[in-house]
Structure 1
Amino acid sequence: MFALLTDIRYGQTRALVAAICCAAVCGIVFGLSMPLISLRLEYMTGSGLVVGLNGAAAALSTLVMAPVMPRIMRLAKPRYLLSLGLACAAALFLLFPVFVSVEAWFVLRFIVGCLMTLVFVISESWINQVVSPHRRALMLGIYGTALAGGFGVGGLLFAALDPMADTAFWLGALIFLAGILPVTLLKGPQAVPPDEEGSSIKAILKAAGSAPAAILAGLAFGALETLAFSLLPVYGDRIGLEHALIGALMVAAALGGLSFQIPLGWIADKTNRRATLFWIAAFTTLSPLAMGLSSGNLALLLMLVFLQAGMASGMYSVGLSLLGERFSGGAIAPANAAFIFAYGLGSFAGPPIAGGAMDMMGPWGLLVTLAAISGSYVLIVGLRSLTRQAD
Structure 2
Amino acid sequence: MTEAASERAIPALIGAVAAYSVALGAVYAALAIALKEGGHTSSAIAVSAAMTPLGLLTSAAILSRASRGSIFNWLFAGIVGTAVTMLLHSIFTFYPAWLVLRFLLGFTANILFLFGESALMMVLGDRNRGKILGAYNGLVTLGYATGPFLVAALSGVGPMGAVAICSMIVLCAVIPVTWAKTELSFPLPAREKTTGFLPLFAVAPALFIASSATAIFDNGFLALFPAYGIDSGLSSQHALFLLGVALVGATVLQWPIGALCDRIGAERVLRLAAATTVATMLALPLGIRLPALAPVLLFLAGGGAFGAYSAVLVLVSQRFDGHSLIRAKALLSMMWGIGSFIGVPVIGASMDFIDLHAFGPAVVWPFIVAITLLLVRNRGTFPRPERQPMEERHAHQK
Displacement after TM superposition at 1:270 (Å) = 1.0
Amino acid at match of 2:175: L
Displacement after TM superposition at 1:193 (Å) = 2.1
Displacement after TM superposition at 1:309 (Å) = 0.7
Contact map agreement 2:316 2:328 (CA 8 A) in 1: yes
Give the total of aligned pairs.
379
Residue in structure 2 matched with residue 385 of structure 1 by the alignment: 378
Contact map agreement 2:212 2:366 (CA 8 A) in 1: no
1:195 to 186, 190, 194: 190
1:307 to 275, 279, 300: 300
1:244 pairs with 2:223? no
Map 1:15-164; keep pairs closer than 5 Å.
Answer: 15-74=9-68, 76-162=69-155, 164=158
Amino acid at match of 1:219: S
Residue in structure 1 matched with residue 338 of structure 2 by the alignment: 345
2: CA distance between counterparts of 1:358 and 1:72?
Answer: 41
Distance 1:365-1:98 versus aligned 2 partners, 3 A rule: same
Compute the RMSD of aligned alpha carbons: 2.0
1:184 to 178, 181, 184: 178
Question: Once structures 1 and 2 are overlaid, which stretch shifts more, 19-28 or 202-211?
Answer: 202-211
Contact map agreement 1:78 1:122 (CA 8 A) in 2: yes
Displacement after TM superposition at 1:21 (Å) = 1.7
Displacement after TM superposition at 1:363 (Å) = 2.2
Residue in structure 2 matched with residue 370 of structure 1 by the alignment: 363
1: CA distance between counterparts of 2:284 and 2:200?
Answer: 36
Contact map agreement 2:151 2:159 (CA 8 A) in 1: no
TM-score w.r.t. the length of structure 2 is: 0.90
Contact map agreement 1:137 1:266 (CA 8 A) in 2: yes
1: CA distance between counterparts of 2:140 and 2:192?
Answer: 31
Displacement after TM superposition at 1:260 (Å) = 1.1
Residue in structure 2 matched with residue 4 of structure 1 by the alignment: none
2: CA distance between counterparts of 1:340 and 1:165?
Answer: 28
Distance 1:134-1:372 versus aligned 2 partners, 3 A rule: same
SS in 1 for 2:158: coil
Contact map agreement 2:204 2:380 (CA 8 A) in 1: no
2: CA distance between counterparts of 1:386 and 1:129?
Answer: 23
Residue in structure 2 matched with residue 335 of structure 1 by the alignment: 328
Residue in structure 2 matched with residue 319 of structure 1 by the alignment: 312
| Structure 1 runs of 4+ with >3 Å offset | 189-192, 203-207
2: CA distance between counterparts of 1:191 and 1:254?
Answer: 36
SS in 2 for 1:173: helix
Residue in structure 1 matched with residue 394 of structure 2 by the alignment: none
Distance 1:342-1:145 versus aligned 2 partners, 3 A rule: same
1: CA distance between counterparts of 2:118 and 2:58?
Answer: 18
2: CA distance between counterparts of 1:334 and 1:256?
Answer: 30
Q: Which runs of 5+ in 1 are unaligned?
A: 1-6
Displacement after TM superposition at 1:387 (Å) = 9.7
What do the CA deviations read for 1:299-341 (whole angstroms, capped 9, x no partner)? Answer: 3112211110111111111101101111113321001001111
2: CA distance between counterparts of 1:387 and 1:257?
Answer: 24
Residue in structure 1 matched with residue 395 of structure 2 by the alignment: none
What do the CA deviations read for 1:345-381 (whole angstroms, capped 9, x no partner)? Answer: 1111222111111012332111121242222211111
Distance 1:195-1:342 versus aligned 2 partners, 3 A rule: same
2: CA distance between counterparts of 1:273 and 1:238?
Answer: 37
